[in-house]
Chains A and B, each alone.
Chain A
């Protein structure tokens, strides 16, 4: 009984209930998703003991046996990511309570659907089911990016939609090819049958699936939509997309590459190369930005590059470092986008200089952004340091040049982070109107700061988590649990 999977149903129910309730009155529209996310956190916590005791737990939908039915699998990787996802979902929904100044049922419905999609991707063991949840996530995010319906958001939305649809179509084509040669779409069963299939079809299918997932994961050359989409979306939605949506893409890539295809070396090398490219391109583009949200968007591209480089190294330490960086970055990027949101709440534009002239920032806003930047750059005492240090060590063992590139990119990360911090928060201290943050916007910032400092000061937690999570990328463990 995987309680965590029912969180998907809880979010779906909240999406529909929000719509229904809004017909009568708008007053309680935000409360339903916030309550639903609390229930989801509870359900995920209830799944933790079983998963950490057994290693991986599975359940079949409607009691059709594997591999004919859809398997729901919870192993340490999925349940850790699901826990972080549900907690951040609660914080984002709480933040939106006052940020979105009207109780819009469309916004809360779409956001609940987005979280339902992400949790579905994390728990499913069936590749076509994963495609369906991918589409749930994608379509609701198309609507959320274009939520404000002004020039910027609409242009961002239509571009994201077209690029995203092409990518998910390629994903479906790859899945169709896999079904054609093996006759199954269960990921564990595919892992068993694919080594016996010869010819070009598995390679072509993998290429198609990887392009579909790589767009969601935001790595070069599929990163072009990220800056526009994060600029056009409301800040809590950008936090959700960057903190959670991108990570669903990375998780799907990990499942497909490591479990279904058993991580051939050529694939890992390719991930390494594209990861390094994303790292550099994202960092350089973020350095040249005037716009706060676009800078954070390109920074996400860069950090995804770190993750793919670490995973592409192929060593145990590298994989663990990459997985830990996924968790760390979820928290850091959500903090940065929410903190930027507090500033942009009352500002008239996203240009950094103009924000400084119109908003007088409070200490909480300043410190939250500063801690986010320091954690992003990998400064000790914050959680980013732990995962980045592991990445440096792991890449040094494989090729010292990679460590040099990673260090240079970290320096550029610190550069653009501090540039944004100085421009928005430190210059022009007396100008602008004072902003009084409501409690519902302060709580997410404080909670995220506390988690960042906690994981940074006690690195054992992060290292233990990384070790636990990398155990789930073992195909024989996975197939053993699913197929019995």
Chain B
């Protein structure tokens, strides 16, 4: 075996799965545990109304996207077929240069 997931790890995982499944069944069956209720939102020292804390999933990662320069990478994929083919040609040339230098010299 190149990697041995031993008996103890497996038992733990199986117990975790069994626990999760039974908890899920309990939640589904027992009506009073299921169902949502809206409670008081108390964040940062003040009560908020639900409308104030609406986080759209689209903007959630906006700050991360800005740091990782996702927009710059996305702009390079602007849909221009000639540009995509040029990358393919550059990629092929890089393959060729590196392989000839590495394998034949």
Contacts and interface: CB of A to CB of B under 8 A. Distances in A.
Direct contact of A and B (CB under 8 A): yes
Interface of A: 159, 162-163, 166-167, 170, 198-200, 202-204, 206-208, 210-211, 214-215, 220-222, 224-225, 227-228, 264, 266-267, 270, 281, 284-285, 287-288, 290, 316-317, 320, 352-353, 380-381, 390, 393, 415-416, 419, 422-423, 427, 457-460, 463, 466-467
Given A227-B77, A270-B98, A381-B16, A207 B3 contact: no
B23 interface: no
B9 to A, nearest CB: 8
A266 B85 contact: no
B81 to A, nearest CB: 5
A202 B70 contact: no
10 contacts: A166-B85, A203-B100, A207-B96, A285-B73, A290-B58, A457-B14, A459-B5, A459-B10, A460-B10, A463-B5
A165 B71 CA distance: 30
Nearest to B74: A288
B26 interface: no
B74 A211 contact: no
B74 to A, nearest CB: 5
A266 B98 contact: yes
Contacts of A352: 57-58
A358 B22 CA distance: 33
A71 to B, nearest CB: 26
A457 B81 contact: no
B99 A204 contact: yes
B92 interface: yes
Nearest to B92: A211
Given A215-B88, A287-B68, 5 more contacts: A203-B104, A206-B99, A221-B91, A228-B79, A419-B61
A270 B71 contact: no
Contacts of B96: 203-204, 207-208
Interface string B34-70: 0000000000000000000000011011001100111
Nearest to A386: B5
A249 B87 CA distance: 19
A159 B99 contact: no
Contact of B58 (A198, A214, A316, A423): A423
Contact of A317 (B2, B5, B95): B2
Interface residues of B, number: 39
Contacts of B61: 287, 415-416, 419
Contact of B88 (A202, A211, A457): A211
A284 B73 contact: yes
B41 to A, nearest CB: 17
Contact of A381 (B13, B77, B103, B104): B13
A417 B75 CA distance: 22
Given A159-B84, A285-B77, A463-B2, A222 B91 contact: yes
A396 to B, nearest CB: 13
B33 interface: no
B25 interface: no
B3 A210 contact: no
Contact of B104 (A200, A270, A317, A427): A200
A203 B99 contact: yes
B27 interface: no
A287 B64 contact: yes
Contacts of A393: 3
A290 B70 CA distance: 13
A422 B57 contact: yes
Contacts of A415: 61, 64
Given A211-B88, A224-B77, A457-B13, A266 B103 contact: yes
A320 B60 CA distance: 37
Nearest to B20: A381
Contacts of A267: 99, 102-103
Contact of B84 (A170, A207, A225): A225
Given A266-B103, A457-B17, A288 B71 contact: yes
B13 to A, nearest CB: 6
A204 B100 contact: yes
B95 A210 contact: yes
A386 to B, nearest CB: 8
Contacts of B91: 211, 214, 220-222
A162 B89 CA distance: 13
A288 B67 CA distance: 12
Given A162-B81, A467-B2, A206 B88 contact: no
